[in-house]
Structure 1
Amino acid sequence: MTIMLYELAGRDAARPFSPHCWKTVMSLAHKGLEFERSAVPFTGVPEVENRFGKTVPVLRDGDKVISDSFDIALYLEETYPDRPTLFGGEGGVALSRFMEAWSASQIHTTIGGRLLLDIHAMLEPQDQAYFRESREARFGRPLEDVVEAGAERIREFGAKLEPLRLMLKRQPFIGGEGPLFADYIVFGAFQWARVCSAEELLEPDDPVSLWFDRCLDLHAGIGRSVAAAA
């Protein structure tokens, strides 16, 4: 039975942008599994799989339905142990837990506010209304003010990546010689920015940029299947 992935997209269904959904796309490709992708707008998420959850990604594999990118990765690892590993053992799971927390606190909080208007512009009108209302309630101010304030955070972004940069000077991937789910966690954040915004976050020769390019080339270039924002 075909594996189905429900992922977030805007007006153009061929441009999925959610960082969390991209983690799952890369995980499925890493495992070499065939899957179909179903684009879901923000206002359509509550209807996925008979109101299974409040967020995507959601994965259906036969009669099994799972949400949350980390839980999906754990499911894939357990269900398809004969396929390439996403974790390389318990230590890799622990590493990925750390990278999840680090990415959320250092990368998402830095670039997320900066992307709000870019994301808003990608949506259909009904989703724009939902997005503006929900995000302005979250941030406590208009989207335009959040984006303007985000400019200062972007200027500090390079310094926040120094631990990752130092690691990637010594090895090609966070997982070592090859990628693991820990790589896909951070990749998802950079892919989010790449798909939504034309703003350059890093210099092309930055070790983190070079690592991101290597990730884009993985699994027959599935990351490049969506062009960068122009």
Structure 2
Amino acid sequence: MQFFDLSGANGRRFSPFGWRVRMALAHVGLEQKADVELVTFSQKHKLDFSGQNLVPVIKDRDQVIFDSWRIASYIDATYGTENSLFGGTDGKSTSRFIASWVDSQIHPLIAQCVVRDILDVIDPADREYFRASREKRFGMPLEQIVENRDDTKANLKRTLYPLRKALEVAPFIGGTLATFSDYAVFGALMWARVTSSFELLESDDPICTWRERMLDLFDSLGRTELSPHA
């Protein structure tokens, strides 16, 4: 299996969607076996074979799949017989809900906290493109986007309230074991962890404790990635 994932400078892998796939592959014992092809912002031509230009992408035998949700569904259907990525058939709709909630509610807030810091960890050749494309998207300079990130952090804390309540009754969103629901949220937090020293969570937040459990999974896979915290 080939796995095409976004990369910054020095092979730093920070894509939240890439982290979803990394954790999904680890869940079924394939993360270490996958042939990883790193793709920077200026190397999107590497994805021409997939008919689009966004990572993550996997190529497994004659199958080419892009989009983290479609990849997760493929991994579960093909390799998740003994260890379901969704915690069973009934858990797939929950994972879809959580992933969509993260995409629509959590990612925009995290972006407003770390988008300027991302500029410093990507390949220098990509910085002009990144600044121009993100400033066009947000309608303001990167520095202005993160200017009030302490307020954004407070908003993020409120938005994460449902997750905090779920963790009162189980160690993971998926229950006793982590599932793709956990990986969707974890991917968002890894996006920030790998690119920025700005801490999104308070040390006494139950989500911080959950994140530590997630970092310990799969031989501490999350702790092996380059991070400004190191």
Tell me the TM-score range normalised by the shorter chain: over 0.9
Deviating more after overlay: 82-91 vs 126-135? 82-91
**Are positions 1:116 and 2:115 aligned together?**
yes
Contact 1:46–1:55 at 8 Å: present in 2 too? no
What CA distance in whole angstroms lies between the structure 2 residues aligned with 1:202 and 1:143?
Answer: 22
Moved over 6 A (4+): none
What CA distance in whole angstroms lies between the structure 2 residues aligned with 1:4 and 1:59?
Answer: 5
Q: Aligned-pair RMSD on alpha carbons?
A: 1.5
Deviating more after overlay: 136-145 vs 46-55? 46-55
Deviating more after overlay: 104-113 vs 57-66? 104-113
2:53 counterpart residue number:
54
What CA distance in whole angstroms lies between the structure 2 residues aligned with 1:28 and 1:51?
Answer: 20
Cα displacement string for residues 111-137 of structure 1 (whole angstroms, at most 9, x for unaligned residues)? 112211111111223311111111111
Contact 2:50–2:64 at 8 Å: present in 1 too? no
What CA distance in whole angstroms lies between the structure 2 residues aligned with 1:51 and 1:26?
Answer: 22
TM-score (norm 2): 0.93
Shift of 1:44: 1.0
Contact 1:32–1:83 at 8 Å: present in 2 too? no
Q: 1:24 aligns with which of 21, 25, 49?
A: 21
Cα displacement string for residues 9-51 of structure 1 (whole angstroms, at most 9, x for unaligned residues)? 11111x2000000000000000012212221101112432535
- Structure 1: 5+ residue runs without aligned partners? none
1:91 counterpart residue number:
90
- Equivalent pairs: percent with the same residue? 43
Shift of 1:206: 1.5
2:71 partner SS: helix
What CA distance in whole angstroms lies between the structure 1 residues aligned with 2:203 and 2:47?
Answer: 39
Cα displacement string for residues 152-191 of structure 1 (whole angstroms, at most 9, x for unaligned residues)? 2112221221111111011000000001111100000011
1:192 partner SS: helix
Contact 1:77–1:85 at 8 Å: present in 2 too? yes
Q: Which amino acid aligns with 1:123?
A: I
2:49 partner SS: coil
What CA distance in whole angstroms lies between the structure 2 residues aligned with 1:67 and 1:50?
Answer: 11
**Change in CA separation of 1:206 and 1:178 when aligned onto 2, cut-off 3 Å:** same
Q: Which amino acid aligns with 1:89?
A: G
1:48 partner SS: helix
What CA distance in whole angstroms lies between the structure 1 residues aligned with 2:84 and 2:228?
Answer: 32
**Change in CA separation of 1:156 and 1:81 when aligned onto 2, cut-off 3 Å:** closer
What CA distance in whole angstroms lies between the structure 1 residues aligned with 2:199 and 2:125?
Answer: 29
2:42 counterpart residue number:
43
- Structure 2: 5+ residue runs without aligned partners? none
> How many positions carry a matched residue from both structures?
227
2:119 partner SS: helix
TM-score (norm 1): 0.93
Q: Which amino acid aligns with 1:6?
A: F
1:198 counterpart residue number:
197
Q: Which amino acid aligns with 1:131?
A: F
Q: Which amino acid aligns with 2:10?
A: D
